Chain A
């Protein structure tokens, strides 16, 4: 892993660029789904750092995503006319970064006061945070309030979604698979023992929240420029649950499993499009069956 990590990153970005180059020849519907998959991988892998590796059960990931999405979309909406077409990648990069950083700030704002809370209490607080964010956007007229933000330029393509997914996987894997990163898992396993070994649990928890929120914000920006429309209801509690389900289904703290689960759970509703209203029932059934059959996660084999 140590030396291969950077090579993996460059290879993945290269493949994403290669596929993207030929994307005009693909069916637009499938291409759209492929981009959805990339965005969901970012969301699931970043939530996995908070929920899986560090063991801080957060239900507010859609909130961070909304912060990033609205920030990035507002920036491109304000500036896209003033920028020459050739410079859009620069604009988009800047907008995504701004979205990620604003979301990271939100992560810091949520992380610091809630660190004393554990388990269920933390879950409830982050749930409340997600709802607050949604209600704020619902009432902000400058971003379209409840009717949503329309006319966002279509910047997200296969390359952006998948190379940023690769960056997310790279950053979080490298972070966790280092001596430094063992601290996240130590905090997850036993906070008291971790602090007795010189690990500052507070610092690790805040780091997890900030890094996780940053990538959720990036994913939000990609989502905004993919759907070209943002509505507060798209970032409700169910969206957070969707991401949590990916993490649980993949196996808490197992990056590979979480990636596979993100892919499966994005494709599944598309396969079930004929009876979409049963999607949540199938979701629920899947979780029930999984929790009984494989409580450690569907794709968790081998060691962490």
Chain B
């Protein structure tokens, strides 16, 4: 494997006396779909927040595209190409679906104050370009019909999808999905799996999936890392992870030795 896109080396974070993530090693290559699983409170979302710059690691090193990400703020990491969704949907509620995506698309068409005020040809061309880009994205995910609907008025499933579209509008190299299957029924989950696979193939990006739901993770991930109490206890293909005794112990508890 060539140099990984995202590289976590012995990443540790402590909150007071609690070590939420301990010496985590994780690599994600280009166009790879990796799952990060673990029981409740295992440190999955914390690991996520470390990658996106919400937290800074207490020890260890994170690099993205061979660039160390320490000292970068979340918005700078987004500019580098890390996009994410949130466990509890965080859309811009008072904006339309279109504007939600447009706000994210702004990242690649930086038009500042002067341009917005002058309203000349450059501004109009730029706005049209963004509009086309946003509509293409919305249409790909069958959200075009909700263009002018307020984000908070969309159904739960559509909000989840819109959040993914918004993240994709920043043209990321790495997409982090934080429990996208939360609150979905079986058929929605199947649809979601199809969608994630589609995104990976269509946009040729890497995806890190944090998930609770075994069906989804086992179904689509090429590689899975398992966290328990902040420690990585296993990593491998879905089949390997499923057979791993430590993983079974973490999820189901250990057999009492007799």
CB distance from A3 to the nearest CB of B (A): 8
- Contact mask A257-284 → B, CB, 8 Å, 1/0? 0000000000000000000000000000
- Interface pair B113/A180, CB less than 8 Å apart: yes
CB distance from B105 to the nearest CB of A (A): 7
- Interface pair B94/A178, CB less than 8 Å apart: no
> In this assembly, does B91 line the interface, its C-beta being within 8 Å of a C-beta of chain A?
yes
> In this assembly, does A171 line the interface, its C-beta being within 8 Å of a C-beta of chain B?
yes
A5-B119 contact in complex given A182-B99, A183-B103, A188-B94, C-beta closer than 8 Å: yes
A196-B83 contact in complex given A185-B95, A189-B92, A189-B95, C-beta closer than 8 Å: yes
> In this assembly, does B182 line the interface, its C-beta being within 8 Å of a C-beta of chain A?
no
CB distance from B168 to the nearest CB of A (A): 11
CB distance from A111 to the nearest CB of B (A): 15
- Contact mask B93-124 → A, CB, 8 Å, 1/0? 11110010011111101011101110100011
Residues 104 to 146 of chain B near chain A (Cβ within 8 Å): 104-107, 109, 111-113, 115-117, 119, 123-124, 126-127, 130
- Interface pair A175/B94, CB less than 8 Å apart: no
CB distance from B164 to the nearest CB of A (A): 12
> In this assembly, does B240 line the interface, its C-beta being within 8 Å of a C-beta of chain A?
no
Chain A interface: which size bin?
20 to 34
- Contact mask A190-212 → B, CB, 8 Å, 1/0? 10111111111100000100000
- Interface pair A183/B106, CB less than 8 Å apart: yes
CB distance from B93 to the nearest CB of A (A): 6
> In this assembly, does A294 line the interface, its C-beta being within 8 Å of a C-beta of chain B?
no
When C-beta atoms are compared, the residue in chain B nearest to A192 turns out to be: B90
- Interface pair A175/B103, CB less than 8 Å apart: no
Neighbour of B113 across the interface among A182, A194, A207, CB < 8 A: A207
- Interface pair B111/A179, CB less than 8 Å apart: yes
Q: Which residues of B contact A175 (CB under 8 A)?
A: 113, 116-117
When C-beta atoms are compared, the residue in chain A nearest to B95 turns out to be: A185
When C-beta atoms are compared, the residue in chain B nearest to A193 turns out to be: B90
Most B CB within 10 A of own CB, among A5, A181, A193: A193
- Interface pair A190/B113, CB less than 8 Å apart: no
Neighbour of B75 across the interface among A178, A185, A198, A303, CB < 8 A: A198
CB distance from A10 to the nearest CB of B (A): 12
Q: Which residues of B contact A253 (CB under 8 A)?
A: 94
- Interface pair B124/A199, CB less than 8 Å apart: no
Q: List 21 A-B contacts (CB under 8 A).
A: A2-B119, A6-B119, A175-B117, A178-B115, A178-B123, A179-B102, A180-B115, A180-B116, A182-B106, A185-B99, A185-B103, A189-B91, A193-B90, A193-B92, A194-B103, A197-B78, A198-B75, A199-B103, A199-B107, A201-B75, A207-B113
Residues of chain A at the chain B interface (Cβ within 8 Å) = 2-3, 5-6, 171, 174-175, 178-183, 185-186, 188-190, 192-201, 207, 253, 303-304
